[in-house]
């Protein structure tokens, strides 16, 4: 019954996926793309299919040989030698079947894991090439799902689905062929029971699909709850404001429902297998009954009846699986389509074919009549990745920078000031090409950034933002991310210059200290100084600071400011400033309002004019003068 059992489980999985595919339509060309994608594995696929075919043929041959043994034992012409030969052949086939099974597993694993590697690498590399706007819209979990669930689903197309289709198809064809050859009467009688099983099985499949979907949704909800509550920020919030009893009750309710679904699913699944076994058993009973009658009538031999009975055990599982082959194939195709969907999304920011390097030492920045609007969803993202993504930005599709022109000469410090929403961060983001201008040009070293190699542009710019992101890794590796070949001595030097060296030295593990998720083992000021140390270690000719001391207390701000002074020394600097000391020593101040540069000059000149900057000076900067 083992063969029927395997086929039965495959059939059950097909049935439970059926409802998930309702309403799904495939885009044109998916099948052709899959075939092109499979070209490097053509030889492996061919060997794999040959092995699957051999395994299916052995599965049919063994019952036939068992029947021949019975005939040898009961027939008048039977001999001991004949029985031994047949037994030896069955034994040899068993050995071959084992070897084929191992070879199938090897080729299947090689094929499947190779496909997973290619797909994951392609999706990962492609997602990395996407602009920041893509990540502000896409749900992280949906992206991870493409790299995991959908890639694995695509892998099954070449392993489970392909091998199941071929092996089940060959098994059914050979089994029915041999059975008709042996006795068409018993074969037809056996097939009469197929609809009796498949029709109720369809209902079981629909119920299983509904339960499985509910279970997936509940598990997703529990995962979301655990993710939010178990990260450092979430755990702290729960401890400060949370209600542990309510949290536990909400989680327990979901988990209890998952338990109930698990029990129900197990019973439905077992009922399916029991029903399949029962139908096969009834068919065997009919085969023995009708076959026995035909044996006594001289129309069949006892061995033929045994062969037919054994073949029946290998018929119903593959037959039921083939009745749902459309579901298996569609599931695989949909997985491929979802992967191709991501790969087909063209990065909004692309490197020019003739991109060039930045000349050594070039560090000037120039904005030439820049106009900019944030791209809309259709330009940078996929609807299927935004189910729970943040809503459209209010400025999406609207021009947010208008005819912005200014220059920053090598070694100059230029400060960007203005009220919140005036366009300061947007302006700074255009220099490292996190976004591309809509009109005009941004130049670094006299070259349009769109004409530069992205690696060369990234190497020349260091940026510290309000959110000093740190990876869940050691202090050493977080700094080496900016310069992988840096020695420990160089790392310590950068830490000292960033005013954080003493703090790190006091840690038990020093540079090997794991910073924690998003750097939560360090204070906000310490995180910023580590980020500044990272920029110092990189030592770029251009530094951009996006309100790097915002949201810090006065003591942390003072320490970070000392680190920033070191970071800016001798470098071309574009600073979004809210500290009076930074503004006062700027070579040039740009005042932005509603995406326009409304004033340019030094601190003294702008204060004397009594315009927008003077108002900012009175309302914002003087409030911080005591810290300065």
Give me the mean pLDDT over the 111-118 stretch. Answer: 80
pLDDT at 394: 46
**Per-residue pLDDT at 224 exceeds 80:** no
Separation CA 199–CA 578 (nearest Å): 72
Give the domain extent around 151.
2-343
**Per-residue pLDDT at 242 exceeds 80:** no
Domain end among 343, 374, 391:
343
Same domain, 111 and 160: yes
**Per-residue pLDDT at 627 exceeds 60:** no
Token pair, residue 379, equals 């330009």
Q: What is the distance of C-alpha 374 from the center of its chain?
A: 26
Task: Find out whether 214 and 207 touch, Cβ atoms under 8 Å.
Answer: no
Separation CA 532–CA 524 (nearest Å): 12
Same domain, 289 and 391: no
Say if pTM beats, i.e. exceeds, 0.75: no
307 within a domain of the structure (yes/no):
yes
Domain end among 313, 343, 373:
343
Out of 116-120, 396-400, 497-501, give the one with best mean pLDDT: 497-501
Q: Which of 278, 273, 268, 271 is nearest to 193 (CA)?
A: 278
Same domain, 369 and 339: no
Same domain, 313 and 431: no
The more confident residue out of 186 and 275 is 186
Token pair, residue 466, equals 């309000």
Task: Find out whether 500 and 429 touch, Cβ atoms under 8 Å.
Answer: no
Give me the mean pLDDT over the 477-499 stretch. Answer: 90
For the chain, the domain total comes to 2
Helix 325-343 and helix 162-182: axis angle, to 10°?
160
Separation CA 599–CA 593 (nearest Å): 9
Same domain, 463 and 583: yes
Same domain, 531 and 594: yes
pLDDT band at 26; cut points 50, 70, 90: low
pLDDT band at 3; cut points 50, 70, 90: very low
Token pair, residue 228, equals 């939010």
Same domain, 92 and 168: yes
Range scoring the smallest mean pLDDT among 4-8, 131-135, 337-341, 495-499: 4-8
Task: Find out whether 498 and 530 touch, Cβ atoms under 8 Å.
Answer: yes
Residue tagged 């050691």 (tokens): 474
Neighbours of 344 (CB within 10 A): 12
Same domain, 320 and 411: no
Helix (H) or strand (E) holding 60: helix 42-74
pLDDT at 626: 45
Same domain, 401 and 330: no
Residue tagged 């009893």 (tokens): 245
| Bridge pairing between strands 365-373 and 572-576 | unpaired
SS3 261: helix
**Per-residue pLDDT at 625 exceeds 70:** no
The more confident residue out of 299 and 580 is 299
357 within a domain of the structure (yes/no):
no
Range scoring the smallest mean pLDDT among 455-464, 501-510, 575-584: 575-584
In Å, how far are 171, 205, 263 from 223, measured between CA atoms? Answer: 42, 26, 21
Same domain, 316 and 416: no
Give me the mean pLDDT over the 144-169 stretch. Answer: 74
217 within a domain of the structure (yes/no):
yes
| CATH number (domain holding residue 423) | 3.40.50.300
Separation CA 168–CA 325 (nearest Å): 10
Same domain, 326 and 432: no
Give me the mean pLDDT over the 605-624 stretch. Answer: 80
Helix 2-17 and helix 244-296: axis angle, to 10°?
130
Q: What is the distance of C-alpha 258 from the center of its chain?
A: 25
pLDDT at 35: 76
Give me the mean pLDDT over the 46-63 stretch. Answer: 86
360 within a domain of the structure (yes/no):
no
pLDDT at 391: 47
Domain end among 343, 376, 405:
343
pLDDT band at 2; cut points 50, 70, 90: very low
Same domain, 402 and 551: yes
Give me the mean pLDDT over the 224-238 stretch. Answer: 68
pLDDT at 6: 46
Separation CA 579–CA 568 (nearest Å): 15
253 within a domain of the structure (yes/no):
yes
Give me the mean pLDDT over the 343-347 stretch. Answer: 80
617 within a domain of the structure (yes/no):
yes
Mean pLDDT, the chain, as a whole number? 79
pLDDT at 431: 93
pLDDT at 393: 45
Give me the mean pLDDT over the 46-68 stretch. Answer: 86
**Per-residue pLDDT at 511 exceeds 60:** yes
314 within a domain of the structure (yes/no):
yes
The more confident residue out of 554 and 434 is 434
| CATH number (domain holding residue 170) | 1.20.1560.10
70 within a domain of the structure (yes/no):
yes
pLDDT at 388: 43
**Per-residue pLDDT at 91 exceeds 50:** yes
SS3 468: coil
pLDDT at 597: 94
Token pair, residue 606, equals 């702008």
Neighbours of 81 (CB within 10 A): 9
């Amino acid at each position: 019954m083992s063969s029927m059992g395997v086929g039965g489980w495959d059939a059950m999985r097909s049935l439970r996926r059926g409802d998930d595919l309702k309403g799904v339509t495939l885009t044109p060309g998916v099948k052709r793309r899959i075939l092109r994608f499979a070209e490097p594995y053509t030889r492996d696929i061919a060997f794999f299919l040959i092995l699957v075919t051999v395994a299916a043929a052995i599965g049919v041959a063994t019952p036939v040989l068992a029947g021949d043994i019975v005939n040898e034992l009961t027939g008048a012409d039977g001999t001991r030698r004949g029985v031994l030969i047949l037994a030896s052949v069955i034994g040899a086939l068993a050995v071959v079947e084992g070897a084929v099974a191992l070879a199938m597993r090897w080729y299947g694993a090689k094929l499947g894991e190779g496909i997973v590697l290619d797909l994951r690498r392609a999706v990962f590399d492609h997602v990395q090439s996407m602009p920041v706007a893509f990540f502000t819209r896409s749900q992280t979990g949906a992206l991870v799902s493409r790299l995991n669930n959908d890639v694995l689903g695509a892998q099954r197309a070449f392993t489970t689905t392909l091998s199941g289709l071929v092996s089940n198809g060959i098994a059914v064809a050979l089994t029915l062929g041999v059975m008709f050859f042996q006795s068409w009467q018993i074969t037809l009688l056996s097939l009469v029971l197929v609809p009796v099983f498949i029709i109720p099985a369809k209902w079981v499949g629909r119920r299983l699909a509904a339960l499985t979907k509910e279970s997936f949704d509940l598990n997703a909800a529990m995962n979301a709850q655990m993710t939010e509550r178990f990260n450092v920020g979430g755990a702290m919030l729960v401890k400060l404001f949370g209600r542990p009893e309510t949290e536990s009750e909400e989680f327990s309710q979901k988990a209890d429902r998952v338990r109930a679904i698990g029990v129900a699913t197990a019973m439905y699944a077992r009922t399916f297998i029991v029903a399949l076994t029962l139908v096969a058993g009834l068919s065997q009973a009919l085969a023995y009954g009708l076959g026995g009658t035909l044996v006594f009538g001289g129309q069949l031999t006892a061995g033929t009846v045994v062969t037919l009975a054994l073949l029946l055990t290998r018929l119903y599982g593959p037959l039921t699986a083939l009745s749902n082959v459309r579901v298996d194939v569609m599931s695989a195709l949909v997985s491929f389509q979802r992967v191709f969907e991501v790969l087909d999304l063209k990065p909004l920011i692309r490197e020019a074919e003739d991109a060039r390097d930045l000349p050594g030492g070039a560090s000037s920045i120039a904005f030439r009549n820049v106009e900019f609007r944030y791209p809309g969803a259709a330009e940078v993202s996929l609807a299927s990745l935004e189910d729970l993504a943040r809503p459209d930005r209010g400025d999406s599709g609207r021009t947010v920078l208008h005819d912005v022109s200014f220059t920053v000469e090598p070694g100059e410090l230029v400060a960007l000031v203005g009220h919140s929403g005036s366009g300061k961060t947007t302006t700074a983001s255009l220099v490292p090409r996190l976004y591309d201008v809509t009109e005009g040009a941004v130049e670094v070293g006299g070259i349009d950034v769109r004409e530069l190699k992205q690696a060369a542009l990234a190497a020349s710019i260091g940026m510290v933002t309000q959110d000093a992101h740190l990876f869940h890794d050691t202090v050493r590796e977080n700094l080496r991310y900016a310069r992988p070949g840096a020695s420990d001595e160089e790392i310590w030097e950068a830490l000292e210059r960033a005013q954080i060296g003493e703090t790190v030295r006091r840690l038990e593990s020093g540079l090997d200290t794991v910073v924690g998720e998003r750097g939560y083992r360090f204070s906000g000021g310490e995180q910023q100084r580590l980020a500044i140390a990272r920029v110092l270690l990189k030592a770029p000719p251009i530094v951009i600071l996006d309100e790097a001391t915002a949201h810090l207390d006065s003591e942390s701000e003072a320490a970070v400011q000392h680190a920033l002074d070191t970071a800016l020394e001798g470098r071309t600097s574009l600073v979004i400033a809210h500290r009076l000391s930074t503004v006062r020593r700027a070579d040039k101040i740009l005042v932005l309002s509603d995406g326009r540069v409304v004033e340019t000059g030094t601190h003294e000149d702008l204060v004397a004019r009594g315009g927008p900057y003077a108002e900012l000076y009175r309302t914002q900067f003087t409030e911080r003068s005591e810290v300065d």
